[in-house]
Structure 1
Amino acid sequence: MQAPPRSRHRIPAPRHERPLPATARDDGRLPTQIRATTLEPGYLLHAEGSCLISMGNTKVICTASVEEGVPLFRKGKGGGWVTAEYGMLPRSTGTRNARESTRGRVGGRTQEIQRLIGRSLRAVTELEALGERTIWIDCDVLQADGGTRTASITGAMVALHQAVSYLLARRLIPRSPIREFVAAVSVGLVGRFPVLDLCYGEDAAASVDFNVVMTESGRFVEIQGTAEGEPFGREELETFLELGARGITDLIALQKEAAIRGSQLPADRRARNGGGEAAG
């Protein structure tokens, strides 16, 4: 399966009221750089699609599982469904967090992230082309250092692409339901400067933080933005969105490279396959 053509949408460079410093971050990155990112397709043996995404110290394993049948509300409508679950390993964080299964309920944050991942993938999927089948996306955080929900969306897109390749190889669907790629990244105001792809320390210190979900054609799926203190203006909002779009353009380029590798893996053996790396 060939990846969709690269978008010609041009993202303008961010505007700022004052020059950005040569480096203003503990890890040496420029404000406009994403963290070193790898996408490893076919990471798990059994899933129809899988991807291990590493963004700096944040690591998430994403799988896409094909299941015949659809939820009741989709039955008889001639199309499929894409849905997501999200979780964090107990020691993915600095101190152990109990599994939600032992608490007896799924937390509000988890539900919000699951819905966000599902919405993001459905936005670029032609559900009718799936037939009456469901693709389950599972995103499990192995190690958290900020940006787990955005990394989950970016990695899940590659896993979904590989699962679609699996269906196409078996002639279970007539065409690819994937219209285009989608990725996500965080943006924030740390100190006096807008920065891209925040690690945990930056996120904790940010006075403004955003999660931006955007397609390769430059259209937004979701924008989540909050001011922790002083409100921000429209011009600052434009700066955050332009910075996020810049990072997503880089991530989608990595997704496409990983998707091509994933579609070339043997359909009956999804063994670990090396990923490409970019420092942003």
Structure 2
Amino acid sequence: MSLDNNRFHVKFWGVRGSIPCPGANTVRYGGNTSCIEMKVGSHRLIFDGGTGIRILGESLLSQLPVEGHLFFTHSHWDHIQGFPFFVPAFIPGNQFYIYGMPSPNGATMQQRLHDQMLHPNFPVPLQIMQAQLKFYDFEVGESIPIDDIVIETAPLNHPGQAIGYRVNWRGLAVAYITDTEHFPGRLDENVLRLSRNADLVIIDATYTDEEYYNEKSSKIGWGHSTWQEAVKIAKAAKIKELVLFHHDPSHDDDFLDVIGEKASLAFPNTILAREGLSLELIPEPKEQEVKSIAKG
């Protein structure tokens, strides 16, 4: 996707949670962990650096030099493990602005990315990257302006903390809300605020209710939500389109097909994230409805 000053593109490069799960049974939805690219007007925004960012990086090699803004929700492995394989970061002339919230122990995102590339975990250090990397720490709840884009942030309910984002541009809004656990019996006000009247909400739907509340192997406290709770948010926040994201590695393509069918019955404008999925939002006059077009 080339940059277009009048378009808002969203592309999915990694849609899994917890651990990569490539194989014959995950071909249609993909097995790479979290990475989403948003091309908003003249700016490229990248959310999370799971293994999907490696493939994104390969696609950018034909567009050098590259500039981008990289936002991390948190630093669990499935959201940072692809960053050391992000080839554009090794190439002089490229520039990346990297955003993250300090962890509860005070470690910055720069320190956490640095630490995962130390021996014995990785052969070369972060300093070998020759692109210009500029790191920015922000406080939860802070808004981040990038020209005419405003990115809102809010805390999510996840062990060790995580951040949700809402990208606002020319009357359009896309929310990226992954790695968050719902509160049984009530809706999370932070999630609702990020989702309010959004054109597109990409949300954690790792489990089904049956898995989450299973007496023998409950997922309560694991930091993730269900597709049923995602539908509740979609209805309460009056969003236009819902994208179920962060698929559990144990959910193969056929299992996800069933979830997609059930979720679409509950909220018709629902799709399941899959690698290569591209959505396009186009700002139009106020009296016309903004439409998204699925591609790929």
Task: Report the TM-score when normalising by structure 1.
Answer: 0.32
Relative contact order: is structure 1 or structure 2 higher (C-alpha 8 Å, sep ≥ 6)? 1
Normalized per residue, the structure richer in helix is 1
Task: Report the TM-score when normalising by structure 2.
Answer: 0.31
